[in-house]
Amino acid sequence: MAHSLQPIHPVRSLRRTLLLGILLPVIAVVGINTVSLYQQALAAVTTAYDRTLLASAKSIGEQLDVDGYDDAAVLHATVPYSALEAFEADNKSNIYYRVSSLRGEMVSGYDVLPFWRGSIPAKPAYAALVDFYDDHVNGDPVRVAVLLQPVATGDGRGMAVIQVAETLELRHTLARQILLDTLWRQAGLVAFIALVVVLVVQRATRPVRRLSQTLQARQENDLTPLSALDAPRELLPLVDATNHVMRRLQHLLDHQKRFVRDTAHQLRTPLAVLKTQVQSALRNDVEPRQALLEINATVDRAAVLANQMLALAKVEQLRQQANAEVLDWSAVLRAVAIDLSPLLADKDIDFAIHTTPTPVRAHDWMLRELARNLLHNAIKQTPAGSALDVALVADGAQAHLRIADSGPGISPDLAQRLYQPFSAGDVQHGSGMGLAICHEIVQALGGSIALVNRVQQGEHQGLDATVRLPLVQNA
């Protein structure tokens, strides 16, 4: 029964992340742009209406008369209808005007409009002595244009202060209309951008969904590499990593199947022999002591076989682990040689070992198992009283191990299947898995192994087992 993995943290949607990551900045920019456009439009409206107020003030100034000069001047104002004609189409706003002297004495207009107490800007926006400001009339906010208008006639000369004010209803109405128009346009723009982004994101994530559907539709034991020829460039690392994981899983499954198959095949023979020996002992076909000796030998061979098959499985297990440490191979090799010294003494072998520090990255068990199998095979093949030389040196970027025995070597037929399990062993003395284990260890450590017959002057001298492993630099 399949179980889905429940995430500890909430799962984020790639599409939602892309949509939010694109649309939120767009909406923020559009919002800022909307405010900016509204302010610019409002400033343009204010300028246009201020210009209308100025035109009305100038129209009133053109109809002024004066009697007397300067401080003794008396102003006379006749405000024609045309002066306020620009506002007649508006029934929402109220218009106020006031004509005064510089001293604030009102000549004509509405006295509810306060007299101007300000000053003309140093750089006015128009070629006139004009100022614009905000004020209140009867509690209503107004926009006021004030014009200092020189008045000169044949009877006098003076200066008039002309104020024209307008309430802000029309301006607010127009501003709201501009704001609504701007918002509608920006909303349409955002909707169009959102639609485009959704379509683009949908299209961009389609290969991800198709890849997910492909994986979900696969059989449980289907670990063939993914084919994603139409995948975008950004997905290729994910596809490659997935295929790499699948290759590793396939390798593990193949190794597991091979292990189970070989175990079942190889253990069947000693178990069948053991059963036959027990039955023979029960029938008294052989003497009890002889039967026990034969059973003991069969059990020993089965134990050796089981241990070596477990060792082969352990190599694969350690291959998947990434916590290998840096070890001095020479120290491990000498420790193994000491462990096997009783075998050397039993055969009176002339044993010589020469080592230099060789740091390599490996698991301790791997190095020990590699050295133990190679030395054990060399001791077994070396005739009694003969020489066995071991040398371990640093050769450039590699650690070079050479074990030279004085045995019979290997035949050309055996050399073709030397590292295959159960192919190089003597059924009476081994399982034929030692070299297969060595080969797997060396492959897992990124090195190489070779067994070559040593021939001098046309005569066979023995066998050289050579192993090379990568050195750890600056260890």
Kindly list the domain boundaries of the chain, sorted by start residue: 29-177, 238-319, 325-470
Beta strands across the sheet bearing 459-470: 350-355, 387-395, 398-404, 459-470, 448-456
pLDDT tens per residue across all 475 residues of the chain = 444 445 545 566 777 887 888 888 888 888 888 888 888 888 888 888 888 888 888 888 888 888 888 777 788 877 765 656 555 555 567 888 888 888 888 888 888 999 998 888 877 777 778 899 999 998 899 999 999 988 887 778 888 899 999 888 888 888 888 888 888 888 888 888 888 888 888 887 787 778 778 778 877 777 777 776 677 777 778 888 888 888 877 777 776 776 666 666 566 767 777 788 788 888 887 787 887 888 887 777 777 666 666 666 676 666 666 677 889 999 999 999 999 999 999 999 999 999 999 999 888 888 888 888 899 889 988 999 899 999 999 888 899 999 999 888 887 766 656 666 555 544 444 445 677 778 888 888 888 998 888 887 778 888 899 999 999 877 6
* Rounded CA separation 104/98 (Å): 10
Output the pLDDT for position 302. 72
Pairing of strands 74-77, 64-69: antiparallel
Output the pLDDT for position 431. 46
Which sign, positive or negative, has the C-alpha torsion 21, 26, 29, 32? negative
Contact 84, 95 (CB under 8 A): yes
* Rounded CA separation 129/120 (Å): 6
Output the pLDDT for position 322. 64
Overall CATH class of domain 238-319? mainly alpha
Q: Is 395 helix (H, G, I), strand (E, B) or coil?
A: strand
* Superfamily of structural domain 325-470: Histidine kinase-like ATPase, C-terminal domain (3.30.565.10)
Output the pLDDT for position 265. 58
Q: Which among 296, 469, 313 has a CA at the least distance from the CA of 398?
A: 469
* Rounded CA separation 311/113 (Å): 107
Output the pLDDT for position 388. 93
Please give the CATH topology (third level) of the domain spanning 29-177: Beta-Lactamase (3.30.450)
Q: 364-381 and 288-319 are packed helices; what angle lies between their axes, rounded to 10 degrees?
A: 140
Contacts of 328 (CB under 8 A, 6+ apart): 357, 358, 359
- Which residues of 33-170 form beta strands (DSSP E)? 64-69, 74-77, 95-101, 106-109, 130-137, 140-153, 156-167
Output the pLDDT for position 146. 92
Output the pLDDT for position 135. 92
Output the pLDDT for position 11. 60
Please give the angle made by the CA atoms of 11, 15 and 19, to the nearest 5 degrees: 120
Tokens representing 385 are 């009283």
Output the pLDDT for position 82. 60
Output the pLDDT for position 473. 79
104: left (phi over 0), alpha (psi -120 to 50) or beta: left
